[in-house]
Amino acid sequence: MKEEIDYARYDRIRPIRWTGDMLELLDQRKLPFTVEYVACRTASAVAVAIHALIVRGAPAIGIAAAWGVVLAARELDATAGAIETAAEAAERLEPVMQQLNAARPTAVNLAWALARMRRALANAGDDWRTLLFREAQAIASEDLAANHKMGKLGAQLIAKGSGVLTHCNTGSLATAGFGTALGVIRAGVAQGRIDRVFAGETRPWLQGARLTVWELQQDGIDATLIADSAASHLMKTGQVQWVIVGADRICANGDVANKIGTYQLAIAARYHGVKFMVVAPSSTVDMATPSGGKIEIEERDPGELFGVGGVRTVPEGVKAWNPVFDVAPSELIDAIVTERGVVERPNRVSMQTFFGH
Ligand code: MRU
């Protein structure tokens, strides 16, 4: 079996670009029909972009927030006179970091990236500006390397001739490049293991329909879109052997928060004897959260459910509830793939062995 992966073919999109003096974010609200970057010159603009889903996906929002801190440091220099010490910079940057952290609550990668930026400042001297810049660069480049590693590790679990179903978007658009779950799918296709790829639409924001199948189309990977509600029927017909998803937060007991609908996919997969794989870098693992019940689940504007593509489909006066993540309990998960290795049948003990230090 061909093990090497042609990344030039399978990884063409970059959602986050640092230009040297500003951050450019690919506006994911407008994809696939408009490819347009939004220029962010301030940390506040980055926080707004994260909240508005201009940039989205757990690793990508962490990377964007790290660059937001770099922008905030430049704003400080421009407006507040000379900042003398790293400690003074840390104190002045803290409110901005809190603003970035509050942009979205569920994906732990945001808090993780900001904690790294804080640590970089705490260890810095006069060189704090350079160290912040290098840390943001490192967060992005380590994410890309982790995705390449996870792609290979995850693909090894998949038998030749398999079909897979994915949910939401976990590709280049959601990361520094290549993707997590979509990286495994790319690697599995490149290695000739995966014959059939299905993607759920992912209502209400349509990450699957607007983003995932668009990414795969650019790779020349044949993918079939399904309505989210077709997933159980797809499994029953024997066309998929794995459900492969990303994660926004993985708890100390192996419970996984991910895009709303993931939980029902995990239940349906177990019922139909389909395996369930979660792919996420170790930056998504949160050993400080003991189990899924403790995760804050983001609830967004119910208005997201009232229409499609800006066209209202629901009568006026109707109420809606719009939680955008849910938690798949660890007992429904066959494998968690991280760049550190594969945790099979995750539980508190195996999670502690992999991530407890
Ligand atoms: O609301 P989103 O689009 O940011 O949600 C994204 C997901 O749930 C992804 O599956 C998760 O962040 C992993 S992305 C590699």
* 162-166 vs 194-200, strand pairing mode: parallel
Q: Which atom of ligand 1 is nearest to the CA of 175?
A: 15
Tens-binned pLDDT, residue by residue, of the chain (357 aa)? 667 888 988 888 999 999 999 999 999 999 999 999 999 999 999 999 999 999 999 999 999 999 999 999 999 888 867 777 999 999 999 999 999 999 999 999 999 999 999 999 999 998 999 999 999 999 999 999 999 999 999 999 999 999 999 999 999 999 999 999 999 999 999 999 999 999 999 999 999 999 999 999 999 999 999 999 999 999 999 999 999 999 999 999 999 999 999 999 999 999 999 999 999 999 999 999 999 999 999 999 999 999 988 899 999 999 999 999 999 999 999 999 999 999 999 999 999 999 987
Beta bridge partners of 197: 164, 223
- Pick from 313, 293, 310, 342: nearest CA to 152: 342
> Domain check: are 63 and 211 in the same one?
no
Q: Is 56 touching ligand 1 by the criterion CB < 6 Å?
A: yes
Is residue 25 included in any domain, yes or no? yes
CA 54 / ligand 1 centre spacing (Å): 13
The CATH number assigned to the domain holding 235 equals: 3.40.50.10470
CA 230 / ligand 1 centre spacing (Å): 21
Three-class SS of residue 226?
strand
Three-class SS of residue 109?
helix
Task: Give the dihedral of Cα atoms 36, 144, 53, 212; nearest 10 deg.
Answer: 80
Which of 16, 61, 170 to probe ligand 1 with, by most ligand atoms within 8 A of CB? 170
Q: What pTM, to 2 d.p., does this model score?
A: 0.97
> Domain check: are 125 and 81 in the same one?
yes
> Domain check: are 163 and 140 in the same one?
no
Beta bridge partners of 199: 166, 225
Q: Is 248 touching ligand 1 by the criterion CB < 6 Å?
A: yes
Is residue 8 included in any domain, yes or no? no
Long-range contacts of 15-24, Cβ-Cβ distance < 8 Å, separation of 24 or more: 15/55, 15/57, 15/60, 15/172, 15/173, 15/174, 16/55, 16/60, 16/63, 16/64, 16/67, 16/140, 16/176, 18/67, 18/70, 18/136, 18/137, 21/74, 22/71, 23/64, 23/67, 23/68, 23/71
d(CA 94, CA 283): 21
- Pick from 257, 249, 258, 253: nearest CA to 281: 249
Q: What is the DSSP letter of 323?
A: B
Q: Is 170 touching ligand 1 by the criterion CB < 6 Å?
A: yes
Relative orientation angle of helices 58-79 and 128-155, to the nearest 10 degrees: 170
Summarised one tens digit per residue, pLDDT across range 295-331 is: 999 999 999 999 988 899 999 999 999 999 999 999 9
- DSSP letter string, 153-219: HHHTTSPTTEEEEE-S--SGGGSSSS-SHHHHHHHHHHTT-EEEEEEE--TTTTIIIIIIHHHHHHH
Is residue 96 included in any domain, yes or no? yes
CA 310 / ligand 1 centre spacing (Å): 22
Q: Is 191 touching ligand 1 by the criterion CB < 6 Å?
A: no
CA 245 / ligand 1 centre spacing (Å): 9
- Pick from 159, 108, 170, 137: nearest CA to 296: 108
Nearest residue CA, atom 6 of ligand 1? 57
> Domain check: are 231 and 101 in the same one?
no
> Domain check: are 106 and 158 in the same one?
no
Chain mean position to CA 39: 21
Sequence-ordered list of residues with C-beta below 8 angstroms from that of 29, at least 6 positions apart, any chain: 52, 53, 54
CA 257 / ligand 1 centre spacing (Å): 10
Is residue 4 included in any domain, yes or no? no
Report residue 141 as tokens.
Answer: 């480049």
Domain stops at, among 102, 125, 145:
145
Q: Is 326 touching ligand 1 by the criterion CB < 6 Å?
A: no
Candidate list 219, 248, 286, 334, residue with the active-site label? 248
Beta bridge partners of 243: 165, 276
Summarised one tens digit per residue, pLDDT across range 133-172 is: 999 999 999 999 999 999 999 999 999 999 999 999 999 9
> Domain check: are 47 and 137 in the same one?
yes
The number of distinct structural domains making up the chain is 2
Is residue 1 included in any domain, yes or no? no
Is residue 164 included in any domain, yes or no? yes
pLDDT of residue 80: 63
> Domain check: are 246 and 257 in the same one?
yes
Burial of 99 from C-beta contacts in 10 A (0-12 / 13-18 / 19+): middle
Which of 259, 284, 298, 327 to probe ligand 1 with, by most ligand atoms within 8 A of CB? 259
CB–CB of 270/99 below 8 Å? no
The CATH number assigned to the domain holding 106 equals: 1.20.120.420
* Backbone torsions φ then ψ of 242, nearest 5 degrees: -135, 140
Report residue 225 as tokens.
Answer: 């879109």
Domain stops at, among 93, 117, 145:
145
Q: Is 195 a catalytic residue?
A: no
pLDDT of residue 83: 79
Domain stops at, among 145, 173, 206:
145
> Domain check: are 56 and 195 in the same one?
no
> Domain check: are 207 and 236 in the same one?
yes
> Domain check: are 122 and 178 in the same one?
no
Q: Is 110 touching ligand 1 by the criterion CB < 6 Å?
A: no
> Domain check: are 96 and 118 in the same one?
yes
Residue with tokens 């707004």: 48
- What is the residue range of 319's domain? 147-355
Is residue 171 included in any domain, yes or no? yes
Q: Is 324 touching ligand 1 by the criterion CB < 6 Å?
A: yes
CB–CB of 204/221 below 8 Å? no
pLDDT of residue 82: 74
Is residue 9 included in any domain, yes or no? no
Q: Is 151 touching ligand 1 by the criterion CB < 6 Å?
A: no
d(CA 275, CA 10): 24
pLDDT of residue 99: 98
> Domain check: are 105 and 160 in the same one?
no
CB–CB of 14/4 below 8 Å? no
